[in-house]
Structure 1
Amino acid sequence: MLVLCINLFLEVLFVSAPLLKIYKRMQWLPFGQWLFSKAVCRKAPYFGSIKPTITTLEPGLCCATIPKRKAVFNHIGTIHAIAQCNLAELCAGVMVDATVPHKTHRWIPKGMTVQYLKKAETNLRAQASIELPRQWQDKEDLIVPVEVFDEQGNKVFHADINMYITAR
């Protein structure tokens, strides 16, 4: 019953408000970041496979973490490449959604260039950020850099994600 109530609450919330506003509303709740992250994964189920937690969201910035667990291991016991790509795309997409003015513009990922810098052997933390303020154009390619770090603060992965921004 509790799960049904939470799902209904999240559905109503996600239909009626922009992402950043929802994030800010949920911060005061116990387990608010976890709940918000689950709701994002419900809207974009593919991200649920990495069990992310969105830890920071503001215009121009998104941070998220994923735990090291067997479901995201590769054959050598490190976090596999596609899990790292998913984390990067999640951060970039949530950040862009929270930053681009939703009444006048929309966005879609157009491409991604990645670099695997070190073995990802611990829980991971990702950060996507862009410089603000900026003028939003029609038919604009926005390159969003995403850095992924291990628990020791070593950069293990870098992605440049091309977001295509258009006017509504």
Structure 2
Amino acid sequence: MAASVLAQYQRITRWPAGHWLFSRAVCLKAPYFASISPRIETLEPNRCVATIRHRRKVTNHIGTVHAIALCNLAELTAGLMTDASLPASMRWIPKGMTVEYVKKAVGKMCATALPAQRLVESDQGYEWPVDVTVTDPGDQVVFRARISMWLSPRA
């Protein structure tokens, strides 16, 4: 059986350049996330923090970080946090996302994903909301998302 994403994170990030290496491994597993070049800063049960640099490939026509790059960052952090929090008997998939663009996103973006309610192990599927907040270098909120994860027992 493959090691959990949390166990992989804990093992790899002890190495020099481990955060960079883990972030690249995540992008190999889910290639679309490579489009924003994320860096996973923290991963633990009920919390994930990741950053993206404001570079040309994530910039829109007005010079700010593109809205969809922020959505991509939110989905990445929410998914990793969910995966790191679930018992081995359960699985997840994103079901929906509601977003709010609070202000122009300029500079390095930092996303933090936290559960909106307590996780319960269940033999039935259910929705589990995850809140993601993205801040700029001045620690000002630029973006918020609530991602609805569908949790269900492994078949």
TM-score, length-normalised on structure 2? 0.95
1-side partners of 2:58 and 2:140: how far apart?
19
* Aligned with residue 65 of structure 1, among 48, 51, 76: 51
CA displacement, residues 103-161 of structure 1 (integer Å, 9 cap, x when unaligned): x1110000000000000011100000126864222211001000000000000000000
Which amino acid in structure 2 is aligned with residue 59 of structure 1? P
Which amino acid in structure 2 is aligned with residue 97 of structure 1? D
The DSSP-based 3-state class of the residue aligned with 1:109 is strand
Q: Which has the larger displacement, 126-135 or 48-57?
A: 126-135
TM-align CA RMSD? 1.3
Matched, 1:136 2:135: no
* Aligned with residue 7 of structure 2, among 1, 21, 30: 21
Between the two proteins, the alignment pairs up a number of residues equal to 153
The DSSP-based 3-state class of the residue aligned with 1:56 is strand
* Aligned with residue 96 of structure 2, among 98, 111, 134: 111
Match in the other structure for 2:37: 51
The DSSP-based 3-state class of the residue aligned with 1:128 is strand
The DSSP-based 3-state class of the residue aligned with 2:48 is strand
Give unpaired runs (5+ residues) of structure 1: 1-14
- Alpha-carbon deviation of 1:28? 1.3
Match in the other structure for 1:6: none
4+ residue runs over 2 A deviation: 131-134
Question: Of Structure 1 and Structure 2, which has the larger fraction of its residues in helix?
Answer: 1
Give unpaired runs (5+ residues) of structure 2: none
TM-score, length-normalised on structure 1? 0.88
Match in the other structure for 1:5: none
CA displacement, residues 37-68 of structure 1 (integer Å, 9 cap, x when unaligned): 00000000000000000000000000000000
Match in the other structure for 1:80: 66
- Over the matched positions of the two proteins, sequence identity in percent amounts to 51
CA displacement, residues 59-97 of structure 1 (integer Å, 9 cap, x when unaligned): 000000000000011000000000000000000000001
Kept in 2: contact 1:64–1:126 (CA 8 A): yes
Match in the other structure for 1:33: 19
Which amino acid in structure 1 is aligned with residue 10 of structure 2? K
1-side partners of 2:127 and 2:55: how far apart?
35
